[in-house]
Amino acid sequence: NNILSRMENPSLFVNGELNSKYLLFSLVQIEILYSLGEFKDCIEVSKEIIDVLSKTDFTFLLRDPEKVFAKAGFPTKVTESLFNKTPVITNITSDLNDYLVDGKNALIVPSFSDKDFAVTVKKAMKLNRTELMNMFNESYKTAREKLSLKAYEESFNEFIK
């Protein structure tokens, strides 16, 4: 069943404001549909989210670096953001430092604190349009060169030989 239809306000925007609960449930539903092989429905649900991502300058991802999930896996939301030419404001967890460069394709929050997050957001607000455009392009370049299936095709083929 569509979990989104059970919500009180099943829309990405409510009274002109982003409905973050809908956005979160949309992302969860996409992952569920994808894992079930329901690719057509997965694409339909994601269209609205991709539209919102294409209009944002940054996405945010802050994780407590002491939590097991933050150490264990690569956050797929970073990949989704970079492929949509959207740099990420984040703290470094897992192996994000292998992919993200402060001021190039991301703005790195130095610690998991409100103060450092606020300083980093203020830094983002001071960027001019040229700097943002460079970050958009670098985000996509990183996604293509380091996170796409094509980037690992040769090493995978070598591995299975």
pLDDT digits (tens, 9 = 90+) for 64-101: 888 877 777 788 888 888 988 999 999 999 899 999 99
pLDDT of residue 87: 93
Reply yes or no on whether the pLDDT at 35 is more than 70: no
Q: What is the mean pLDDT of the chain?
A: 78
- Among residues of the chain, what percentage have pLDDT more than 90? 34
pLDDT digits (tens, 9 = 90+) for 108-146: 999 999 899 999 999 999 999 999 999 999 999 999 999
How far out from the chain centre does Cα 101 lie? 15
User: How many angstroms separate the CA atoms of 161 and 155, rounded?
Assistant: 10
